[in-house]
């Protein structure tokens, strides 16, 4: 790592608190409920799919020393949904490891779940002084989410990923997110257009942030675009599915910090 890299990364982490929508288990997907296991753990919004596994990669703001690599798996029995995963962010000197899990219930028109993520600095050695005071270098957060389909093609959701936190403060302050998505599908159900809006409500006196976007789906292909404020920026994503295999990617720009790139490869089961 270059000598100035830790200072630059520290500055980026401070800026992340107001511009990042995901951290340890970010997935290349539009806001709201998604079938990807990483997205389930990250947002606490349970998926409709009954099984899946995913490997996800995020490069934050074009910094090679600040990358997140995650793997996760999910399974379902009847209405029950459960997911678990591990991730690693950053280089050894400034990075951290994380383990996350989510548990939820999905019905035909609603879903609710709890999620939790535990983190610790990668510099902690077993038996060291830091290991004896793990609360100084590790932390735990817990929260949840719920979605509801009050009408055909309409989904509304609320996600509170950090309802509670203990130990070392999380790298990012994840706000409560409220959102809605409306889809206009074709008669086959394999295509159509969807629109969404979302509002993030940070804790304290910080101003809210907003997002809006649209997605076009045609058979196994999907493309979406998103616009966010605080500061004003945009992003776009693509995904392709071949039977069980789903490959997705997303790029989000930032006027000062550079581009954030997310890539995901998943094996997903069919919705119930």
Q: What span, in angstroms and rounded, lies between the C-alpha atoms of 136 and 120? A: 9
Per-residue confidence (pLDDT) for residue 4, from 0 to 100: 47
**Ranges of the chain with pLDDT below 50:** 1-4, 14, 17-19, 272
| pLDDT score, position 19 | 47
User: What is d(CA 106, CA 75) in angstroms, rounded to the nearest whole number?
Assistant: 12
Q: According to the model, what pLDDT value does residue 189 have?
A: 54
> CA 220 to CA 239: how far, in whole Å?
8
Domains of the chain: 5-268 (2.40.160.40)
pLDDT score for 3: 42
Planar angle of CA 54, 138, 264, nearest 5 degrees:
15
pTM: 0.87
How many residues make up the chain in this entry? 272
DSSP assignment letter at 37: H
Token pair recorded at residue 272: 């119930």
End-to-end, the C-alpha distance of the chain in Å comes to 47
Confidence at residue 93, expressed as pLDDT on a 0 to 100 scale: 73
Residue 34's closest CA among 70, 83, 69, 78?
A: 83
């Amino acid at each position: 790592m270059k000598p100035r890299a830790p200072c630059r990364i520290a500055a980026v982490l401070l800026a992340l608190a107001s511009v990042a929508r995901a951290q340890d288990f970010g997935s290349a997907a539009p806001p709201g409920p998604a079938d990807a296991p990483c997205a389930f753990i990250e947002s606490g919004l349970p998926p409709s799919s009954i099984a899946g596994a995913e490997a996800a990669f995020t490069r934050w703001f074009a910094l090679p020393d600040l990358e997140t690599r995650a793997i996760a798996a999910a399974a379902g029995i009847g209405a029950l949904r459960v997911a678990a995963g591990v991730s690693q962010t950053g280089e050894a000197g400034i990075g951290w490891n994380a383990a996350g899990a989510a548990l939820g219930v999905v019905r035909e028109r609603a879903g609710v779940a709890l999620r939790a993520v535990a983190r610790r600095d990668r510099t902690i050695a077993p038996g060291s002084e830091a290991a004896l005071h793990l609360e100084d270098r590790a932390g735990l957060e817990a929260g949840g989410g719920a979605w509801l389909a009050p009408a055909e093609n309409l989904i509304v959701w609320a996600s509170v990923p950090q309802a509670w936190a203990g130990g070392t403060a999380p790298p990012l302050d994840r706000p409560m997110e409220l959102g809605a998505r409306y889809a206009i599908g074709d008669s086959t159900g394999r295509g159509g257009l969807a629109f969404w809006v979302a509002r993030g409500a940070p804790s304290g006196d910080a101003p809210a942030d907003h997002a809006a976007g649209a997605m076009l789906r045609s058979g196994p292909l999907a493309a979406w675009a998103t616009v966010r404020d605080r500061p004003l920026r945009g992003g776009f994503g693509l995904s392709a599915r071949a039977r069980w295999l789903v490959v997705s990617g997303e790029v989000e720009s930032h006027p000062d910090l550079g581009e954030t790139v997310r890539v995901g490869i998943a094996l997903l089961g069919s919705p119930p």
